[in-house]
């Protein structure tokens, strides 16, 4: 039997066909009739089947009581009661802020977590909400908040109609877009070139995207804001601007940019002044140009300034809200409205307790999670709920997070794996596999390079004792709000009622009142069921000025908070350049830490290697294939060197999400391909100054060959 679905393993959201015989999956392949992906899938698609069938995936609730090291399998009733009792006990003794929530990256790919999950977690009454966003994208959110009026008004490049695509700190050929839902980026790049357009990549590594570019320029990690100020300087200096009527703060931006001439920033960026001028002229001179910045620009101490200046470059060259430039998606289900209801908006309404870092979108930076657990006082975190997340591997200074989790009074994990984080839990509540739940791309459709909508019913029916994330969170939340005794009957009634407000009902309402709803084509879940491959809603369309929520109802090019930070950016020009810095990287067959238990995806040559430029290898006496130690101010690790001229001299690179060698996990395949965690040596004190987003990039390190005087003895064999 042929069932249609969506691959939920990355932001491309490709359409898939699941071949099923009874309850057995025969294979997963691309859906040629999906209007967005058109049959394209990347190698990760096999992970949909592998996750579903993985023998290590937890399928029944697990509980660990007291000092017990081993988990035992229990009923849902026992697990949910035990989970809620522990959380209520902590809340009663220490207050609401003593409970924290951490949500991982898969949240954005999970309809239940994006709807019911957000409403439940954000009404717990705690300020201690954390997610992978502050290890990823919060600088973009802060820039969007200040410039356009909402943290989710992040524009995307209209790559299918642009003539000049400038990519900085991103590798969309591997990611297939991030805050840019764009299946099959290679095809889109080919189309760009066929219509005479150009792709320019600026990155400290010659990435898979850079290898397809018309031009690649190395950029010293951490200097992205300086790069963009230099480009803006040239645009103003050479009168290359195309200013629209809705721009506020043009003169202030021009005055700031005067301080950052190409000649002045050349040394810090590693880009010759003439090359900086050429980059600016080519971008401004193109008929239609789009700039795309992503994780690399966010993972630095001036990440928010880089995001701001990238958007400002588009604005002053006439490429904001214009076909072929930066545009906003018009999604069928308004994620911004749902976010407003859930409290995901704004910035700086409260601060973290210890380091006094601001919240963004109602969440505190994950860089403060460990200190908020460790530091005594009112509001200290004593209990934690994790949902689809693994902060031991994804947060900065993972070893400190690891130790902190071990001190909690109570921990509940809504997760399908016993991994590096959930091994600390007292209760693990396992949801069904992605193929056993309905899906609508609520988050990802809001950042598509085309407008589209698609509803997917579960390709595989879950059994009676399996629950999806929305069901688990609903039941847990209701137990947290109501005690036992005479209220038990009320709780049961509310649980029956609550199941009517399930993710499908929320999406159906959002579709009906959305821009393509009852009076504009009649989109609903029922109508989408009749078109199971999905619906194309057309190319991106201009949305200004109606969408702006700034006080001025204009695009703010010089937000005061950003202007005040420019002095600190300028001061970096006098700072010495570290001899060697560390950055992360992506791989097409991986996604953070959650696909490494698939043998089909981890097989082949080891990918958790340290990329080193030949000049740096010679300087440090490192040979290809040798084990090397990598040392930062936070610690050291060992990795295998891979000498390659795809790296910029002075920069080394490790992939993110590995390090599966901790005791107490249940990850057979991942354990056999453990690798090392780059976040064992990143620094939780290095953050973006304006958001607290983790500054994973440009970490100063030293490397040297690991010398072993004697061969290590073989382990003794038990009789």
Question: Do 489 and 437 fall into the same domain?
Answer: yes
- Cα angle value 639/642/647 (rounded, 5°): 115
28 phi and psi angles, rounded to 5 deg: -130, 130
Question: Do 532 and 554 fall into the same domain?
Answer: no
What is the separation of C-alpha 395 from the centre of its chain, rounded to a whole number of angstroms? 12
The CA distance from 292 to 175, in Å, is: 13
Is there a domain that residue 457 lies in? no
Is there a domain that residue 186 lies in? yes
Is there a domain that residue 453 lies in? no
pLDDT given at position 345: 78
**44 contacts 29 by C-beta, under 8 angstroms:** no
pLDDT given at position 707: 84
pLDDT given at position 712: 45
Is there a domain that residue 314 lies in? yes
Question: Do 321 and 418 fall into the same domain?
Answer: no
Among residues 10, 32, 53, which one ends one of the domains?
A: 53
Name residue, tokens 């760009």: 192
The residues near 550 (Cβ < 8 Å, ≥ 6 apart) are 147, 148, 149, 248, 556
Q: Which domain holds residue 227?
A: 139-330+546-567
**660 contacts 667 by C-beta, under 8 angstroms:** yes
pLDDT given at position 360: 96
**291 contacts 320 by C-beta, under 8 angstroms:** no
In this structure, what CATH number is given to the domain that contains residue 234? 3.40.228.10
In this structure, what CATH number is given to the domain that contains residue 638? 2.40.40.20
Least confident stretch, 115-129, 186-200, 446-460: 115-129
Least Cα distance to 647 among 361, 355, 220 occurs for 220
pLDDT given at position 713: 43
- Over pLDDT 70: what percentage of the chain? 95
Strand ranges for 137-176 from DSSP E? 156-157, 164-168
Tell me which H or E stretch contains 62.
strand 62-63
CA dihedral 631, 632, 634, 639 (to 10 degrees): -40
pLDDT digits (tens, 9 = 90+) for 6-55: 999 999 999 999 999 988 999 999 999 999 999 999 999 999 999 999 99
Mean pLDDT (whole number) for 569-581:
96
162 phi and psi angles, rounded to 5 deg: -80, 160
Question: Do 104 and 247 fall into the same domain?
Answer: no
pLDDT digits (tens, 9 = 90+) for 640-676: 999 999 999 999 999 999 999 999 999 999 999 999 9
Least Cα distance to 289 among 223, 193, 198 occurs for 198
Looking at the 3D structure of the chain, how many domains does it have? Answer: 4
Question: Do 132 and 153 fall into the same domain?
Answer: no
pLDDT band at 344 (very low <50, low <70, confident <90, very high): confident
Is there a domain that residue 461 lies in? no
pLDDT digits (tens, 9 = 90+) for 323-339: 999 999 999 998 888 88
The CA distance from 344 to 339, in Å, is: 5
Q: Is the pLDDT of residue 150 over 90?
A: yes
Is there a domain that residue 712 lies in? no
Q: Is the pLDDT of residue 489 over 70?
A: no
The CA distance from 167 to 156, in Å, is: 12
Relative to beta strand 581-583, strand 651-653 is parallel
Structure tokens at 489: 């009957």
Mean pLDDT (whole number) for 299-309:
98
Name residue, tokens 């407000």: 501
Structure tokens at 4: 């249609």
Least Cα distance to 318 among 235, 200, 228 occurs for 235
**310 contacts 168 by C-beta, under 8 angstroms:** yes
Task: Tell me whether residue 649 is exposed, middle or buried, using C-beta atoms within 10 angstroms of its C-beta: 0 to 12, 13 to 18, 19 or more.
Answer: middle
Q: Is the pLDDT of residue 718 over 50?
A: no
The CA distance from 454 to 16, in Å, is: 12
pLDDT digits (tens, 9 = 90+) for 71-127: 999 999 999 999 999 999 999 999 999 999 999 999 999 999 999 999 899 889 999
Tell me the average pLDDT of the chain. 94
The CA distance from 403 to 100, in Å, is: 16
In this structure, what CATH number is given to the domain that contains residue 43? 3.30.200.210
Q: Is the pLDDT of residue 306 over 70?
A: yes
User: What totals of helices (H) and strands (E) does the chain contain, helices first?
Assistant: 25, 29
**103 contacts 413 by C-beta, under 8 angstroms:** no
Question: Do 200 and 318 fall into the same domain?
Answer: yes
pLDDT digits (tens, 9 = 90+) for 346-389: 899 999 999 999 999 999 999 999 999 999 999 999 999 999 99
**599 contacts 43 by C-beta, under 8 angstroms:** no
pLDDT digits (tens, 9 = 90+) for 594-628: 899 999 999 999 999 999 999 999 999 999 999 99
Is there a domain that residue 462 lies in? no
Q: Is the pLDDT of residue 488 over 60?
A: no
Least Cα distance to 701 among 609, 579, 586 occurs for 579
Name residue, tokens 């382990």: 715
The CA distance from 474 to 620, in Å, is: 55
Mean pLDDT (whole number) for 290-318:
98
Question: Do 73 and 121 fall into the same domain?
Answer: yes
The CA distance from 121 to 343, in Å, is: 10
Is there a domain that residue 511 lies in? yes
**687 contacts 299 by C-beta, under 8 angstroms:** no
The CA distance from 678 to 394, in Å, is: 9
3-state secondary structure string, 267-313?
Answer: HHHCCCHHHHHHHHHHHHHCCCEEEEECHHHHCCCCHHHHHHHHHHH
**298 contacts 360 by C-beta, under 8 angstroms:** no
Question: Do 688 and 662 fall into the same domain?
Answer: yes
Question: Do 309 and 413 fall into the same domain?
Answer: no
In this structure, what CATH number is given to the domain that contains residue 372? 3.40.50.740
Least Cα distance to 587 among 606, 561, 612 occurs for 606
Name residue, tokens 């949801």: 431
Angle in degrees, 0-180, between the axes of helices 76-94 and 469-481, rounded to the nearest 10? 50
**310 contacts 293 by C-beta, under 8 angstroms:** yes
37 phi and psi angles, rounded to 5 deg: -95, -20
- Over pLDDT 90: what percentage of the chain? 90
Question: Do 380 and 505 fall into the same domain?
Answer: yes
Q: Is the pLDDT of residue 68 over 80?
A: no
Question: Do 132 and 143 fall into the same domain?
Answer: no
Per DSSP, 657 falls in state S
Name residue, tokens 């072993």: 708
Question: Do 225 and 163 fall into the same domain?
Answer: yes
pTM given for the model: 0.95
pLDDT given at position 642: 98
pLDDT band at 592 (very low <50, low <70, confident <90, very high): confident
What is the separation of C-alpha 175 from the centre of its chain, rounded to a whole number of angstroms? 11
pLDDT given at position 8: 96
């Amino acid at each position: 039997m042929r069932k249609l679905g969506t691959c939920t393993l990355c932001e491309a959201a490709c359409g898939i066909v699941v071949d099923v015989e009874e309850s057995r999956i025969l294979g997963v392949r691309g859906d040629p009739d999906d209007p967005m992906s058109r049959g394209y899938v990347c190698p990760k698609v096999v992970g949909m089947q592998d996750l579903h069938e993985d023998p290590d995936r937890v399928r029944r609730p697990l509980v660990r009581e007291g000092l017990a090291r081993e988990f035992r399998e229990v009923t849902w009733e026992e697990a949910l009661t035990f989970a809620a009792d522990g959380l209520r006990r902590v809340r009663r003794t220490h207050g609401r802020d003593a409970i924290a929530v951490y949500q991982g990256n898969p949240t954005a790919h999970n309809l239940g977590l994006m709807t019911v999950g957000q409403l439940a977690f954000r009404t717990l009454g705690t300020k201690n909400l954390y997610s992978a966003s502050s290890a990823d994208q919060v600088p973009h959110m802060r820039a969007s908040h200040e410039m356009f009026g909402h943290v989710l008004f992040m524009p995307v490049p209209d790559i299918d109609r642009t003539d000049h695509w400038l990519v900085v700190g991103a590798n969309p050929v591997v990611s297939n877009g991030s805050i840019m839902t764009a299946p099959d980026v290679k095809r889109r790049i080919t189309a760009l070139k066929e219509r005479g357009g150009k792709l320019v990549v600026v990155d400290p590594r010659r990435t898979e995207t850079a290898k397809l570019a018309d031009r690649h320029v190395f950029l010293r990690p951490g200097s992205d804001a300086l790069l963009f100020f230099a480009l803006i300087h040239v645009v103003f200096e050479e009168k290359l601007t195309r200013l629209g009527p809705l721009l506020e703060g043009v003169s202030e931006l021009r005055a700031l940019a005067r301080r950052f001439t190409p000649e002045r920033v050349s040394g810090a960026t590693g880009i010759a002044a003439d090359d900086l001028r050429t980059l600016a002229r080519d971008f401004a001179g193109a008929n239609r140009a789009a700039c795309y910045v992503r994780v690399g620009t966010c993972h630095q101490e001036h990440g928010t300034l880089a995001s701001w200046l990238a958007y400002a470059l588009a604005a002053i060259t006439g490429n904001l809200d214009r076909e072929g430039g930066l545009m906003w998606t018009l999604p069928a289900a308004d994620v911004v409205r749902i976010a407003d209801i859930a409290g995901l908006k704004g910035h700086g309404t409260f601060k973290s307790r210890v380091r006094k870092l601001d919240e963004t979108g109602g969440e505190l930076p994950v860089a403060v999670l460990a200190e908020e657990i460790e530091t005594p006082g009112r509001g200290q975190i004593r209990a934690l709920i994790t949902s689809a997340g693994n902060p031991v591997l994804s947060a900065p200074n993972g070893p400190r997070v690891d130790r902190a989790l071990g001190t909690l009074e109570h921990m509940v994990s809504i997760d399908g794996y016993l991994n590096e984080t959930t091994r600390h839990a007292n209760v693990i509540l396992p949801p069904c596999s992605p193929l056993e739940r309905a899906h609508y791309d609520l988050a990802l459709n809001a950042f598509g390079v085309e407008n589209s909508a698609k509803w997917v019913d579960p390709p595989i029916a879950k059994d009676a004792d399996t629950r999806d994330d929305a069901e688990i969170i609903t039941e847990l939340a209701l137990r947290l709000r109501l005690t036992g005794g005479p209220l038990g009957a009320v709780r049961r009634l509310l649980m029956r009622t609550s199941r009517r407000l399930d993710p499908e009902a929320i999406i159906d309402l959002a579709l009906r009142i959305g821009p393509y709803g009852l009076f504009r084509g009649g989109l609903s879940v029922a109508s989408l069921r009749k078109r199971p491959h999905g619906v194309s809603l057309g190319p991106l369309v201009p949305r200004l000025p109606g969408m702006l929520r700034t006080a001025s109802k204009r695009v703010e090019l010089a937000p005061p908070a950003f202007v005040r930070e420019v002095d600190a950016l300028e001061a970096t020009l006098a700072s010495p350049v570290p001899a060697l810095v560390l950055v992360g990287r992506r791989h097409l067959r991986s996604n953070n830490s959650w696909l490494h238990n698939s043998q089909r995806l981890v097989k082949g040559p080891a990918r958790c290697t340290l990329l080193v430029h030949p000049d740096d290898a010679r300087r440090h006496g490192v040979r290809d294939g040798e084990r090397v130690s990598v040392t930062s101010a936070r610690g050291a690790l060992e990795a295998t060197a891979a000498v390659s001229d795809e790296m910029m001299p002075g920069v080394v690179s490790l992939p993110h999400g590995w390090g599966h060698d901790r005791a107490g996990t249940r990850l057979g395949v991942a354990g056999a391909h453990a690798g090392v965690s780059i976040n064992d040596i990143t620094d939780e004190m290095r953050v973006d100054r304006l958001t607290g987003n983790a500054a994973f990039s440009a970490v100063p390190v030293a490397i040297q060959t690991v010398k072993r005087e004697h061969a290590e003895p073989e382990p003794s064999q038990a009789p």
